[in-house]
Amino acid sequence: MPQSTLRGPLLGLHSDSPFPAPRYKEASPPAPRRASRNAYVRLFGEPGTRAFTLGNLIARLPMGMFTVSAVIMIAGSRGSYALAGAVTATGLAATALVAPFTARLVDRHGQARVAVPAALIAVLGSLALVLCVRHDAPAWTLFAAYAATATTPNIGGMSRARWAHLYRDDPAAVHTANAFEQAADELCFMTGPVLAAFLCAALFPEAGTVTGAVLLLAGILIFATQRATEPPASPRAGTGRTPLRAPGMPSLLAVLLATGAVFGSLEVVTLAFVDGPAAGAVVALQAAGSCAAGLLYGRARRTARLWPCLAAMAALMSLPLLAATLTGALPLVAAALLVAGMATAPAMVTGMTLIQRRTPRGRLNEGMTLAVTALMGGAAAGSATGGWAVESAGAALAYLVPAAAAALALVLATATATAEPARGTTKARLS
């Protein structure tokens, strides 16, 4: 059968029709979309990710403000840094106890249903602290008010849980997301203390705490309204195996505990070494180096194991010690801190990825909160040890404390062999 006979009936025209059959141009297949070369552009291509990240950053900024604000406010009113330190230490201890239970409720009932009332309680605690200081209430009321802020949701952990849920089948994207979250941590802890100190000095002593409380509540509300990206609640989250008992989790938390001691001691020793108006800027250099390295590490297609990251951190943490003891020159110490900070983000990103992989299904918020609690506990111990070393041996030699803490983290990681095979395109063998 001729081709024209076939075409005619199909078009409603006979082959001998005086009207020529119309010629239809076949539609060419759509050109495939080119994958973005920028991992971060690809990361935020998922609907809703930018909105919940905005709320996350607003709510996370006060995390670097509250302690500095409380110390300035209490010490200025009561004339006692010892009282201010004791109050903030009490809040830290309360947070370490309460945060895992808050995270468990988040896993069981959902982020929005738990985070908003928990943040509201924390905000009321902060405002109560302001009133107690303002009206010269008894000292014990300061401890009680600040302890109430322990219900502050772990916004960083909830954000990481969202990324892990959205990209559960894409390990490379999860790695990039963890790197972004680590950079966000560093950015907030760079700018938060500076903003708090400025507000307390420029306006009134309670301004830092009040502003932090407003930002926390506003950020949590923005974050919680983004329900499309929220991981589903797991009603049985409190009945299964706790993340603390997951294989390899206790040893990994011990590594994070030692890593937290690096951060806590490095900050205190640097403040003592600089001892002047430039102290805040010099401390921020370490966070700046970590922030930049974290963003670069997030674009890597292949990631390192945990122990090489910790080995790099242990090696670079010796630079501030050498600069301080051999030269005593502030510019060299500042440069050493910038370089040393570049090793902390890869170690943290890799460690947090391991935490996510080892946490039982449905309890990711609790697992991430345990990691943050370990870091906070290590930071508190590192701060105390660093302060003791400064008093005993001087600020220059006290840089031995963060170097020793980094070496301890490396020893713990290699001794416990926290290995995990690679999955997907991003290789994350982490021991």
Question: d(Cα 415, Cα 423) in Å, to the nearest integer?
Answer: 23
pLDDT digits (tens, 9 = 90+) for 42-61: 878 778 888 888 888 898 88
Q: Are 200 and 54 in contact (CB under 8 A)?
A: no
Q: Which residue has the tokens 């105390």?
A: 384
Same domain, 211 and 253: no
Residues 279 and 157 in one domain: no
Average pLDDT over residues 368-396: 80
Do residues 304 and 431 touch, judged by C-beta distance below 8 A? no
Structure tokens that stand for 23 in this block: 């010629």
* Residue 428 covered by a domain: yes
Q: What mean pLDDT is reported for the chain?
A: 77
Whole-number Å distance between alpha carbons of 430 and 175 = 13
**Cα(387)–Cα(364) distance, rounded to whole angstroms?**
35
- Largest Cα separation within the chain, whole Å, is 107
* Same domain? 293 vs 424: yes
Query: Do the domain assignments include residue 379?
Result: yes
Q: Which of 403, 272, 396, 265 is nearest to 326 (CA)?
A: 396
Q: Single out the residue in 179, 203, 235 at which a domain terminates.
A: 235
Same domain, 258 and 227: no
Single residue among 191, 211, 235 that ends a domain in this structure? 235
Q: 111 and 57, same structural domain?
A: yes
Tell me the residue range of the domain where 165 lies: 49-235
Residue-wise pLDDT tens digits, 73-129: 887 887 776 777 778 777 877 887 888 788 888 878 888 888 899 999 999 999 999
Residue 430: is its pLDDT beyond 80?
no
Yes or no: say if 401 and 281 are a contact pair by the CB < 8 Å rule: no
CATH number at residue 404: 1.20.1250.20
- Domain membership flag for residue 123: yes
Co-location of 195 and 263 in the same domain: no
The predicted model scores a pTM of 0.68
Task: Say how many residues make up the chain.
Answer: 431
- The 10s digit of each residue's pLDDT in 146-174 is 888 888 888 888 888 888 888 887 888 87
Same domain, 395 and 412: yes
